[in-house]
Amino acid sequence: MKLDEQLTINDVIITMRGNLAENGYLADDALVMALFLAEKLEKPLLLEGPAGVGKTELAKAWSRMRGCQLVRLQCYEGLDESKALYEWNYQKQLLYIQIEALASRGWDAGRDQIFSPDFLLKRPLLTALTSEEPVVLLIDEIDKSDPEFESFLLEALSDWQVTIPELGTIVAVSRPHVVLTSNSTRELGDALRRRCLHFYIDYPDFQRELSIVELHVPGIDRRFLERLVEFIQTVRKQPLKKPPSVTESVDWVTAMHLVADNELTADLVRTTLSALLKYTRDRNLILEKLPFLLRQE
């Protein structure tokens, strides 16, 4: 846990922030510190915040930075252990049951054979726990799963093991780096939160969004980029159903870079606004206010 005597914590954070940037992710010091602690304490990192602010992308950048495989479990309503952990390969089991060797050995011997790792189909959670090398396990949009699935995860995230009735307890070969993301569509349970470090990622301020977009849209005129980001920040302050995410900001700036000659005009905004806003009501609201918004940015 102790740092190298020649390094300060600031050195480590600066280095880690630079490594993330080299892998396409710009993080502030507070987020880098949370990631550093998640690694050193071997605890899951729970990232909450609006959709599209970079929670999933952080897990991807972390895996690239550490040279790890990214194992992704996409959560949804009704997700259960057969989709997250394992299921038995029933077709393969039936074929094995039918072979003459099994018939001559009897059911008791055969049962031990068909409920063995050879017939196990690993899903993301079991894949991460049984990997010989550490992986980054991304449990994406955990808030979309049911509370029962949350409870199921507790053993894996606290003891780094899972129980399969036919095989017993399987302990992690190497502890994965775990990122859970949530868009806060429902409140997560206290038991899950206790097992995690927590960080809230909000929409970026002007300077941070400028840096992020500049990273993804190289070669764009700096002053033109500043005007575009100022406009995005102004749009985000409006009473929208869904404010534009960082991903949508990058998409819109890319579109404007392609079609505009470094000029932000009402006509160009009207024709490209679908890249920034994904609800008709939101686009109509912005189009109605467009002359005012262009004066404000």
β-bridge partners, 47: 181, 199
**Dist. CA 106–CA 13, nearest whole Å:** 61
The residue to which tokens 């602010």 are assigned: 53
Q: Are 162 and 97 in contact (CB under 8 A)?
A: no
What is the per-residue pLDDT across 200-229, written as a single tens digit (0 to 9) for each?
A: 999 999 999 999 999 999 999 999 999 999
CA 152 to chain CA mean position, Å: 20
User: Mind listing the pLDDT tens digit for each residue in 161-201?
Assistant: 988 877 788 899 999 999 999 999 999 999 999 999 999 99
DSSP letters of 148-182?
HHHHHHHHHHHHSEEEETTTEEEE-SSPPEEEEEE
Cα–Cα distance between 15 and 30 in angstroms, integer? 14
Cα-Cα-Cα-Cα dihedral sign, residues 275, 61, 35, 146: positive
pLDDT digits (tens, 9 = 90+) for 100-123: 455 565 545 555 566 666 767 789
CATH H-level superfamily of 9-77+128-200: P-loop containing nucleotide triphosphate hydrolases (3.40.50.300)
Question: Phi and psi at residue 180, in whole multiples of 5°?
Answer: -110, 135
Q: What is the DSSP letter of 217?
A: S
Band (pLDDT 50/70/90 cuts) for residue 88 is: low
User: Domains of the chain: which residue ranges?
Assistant: 9-77+128-200, 86-122, 206-296
Q: How far apart are CA 230 and CA 209, in angstroms?
A: 10
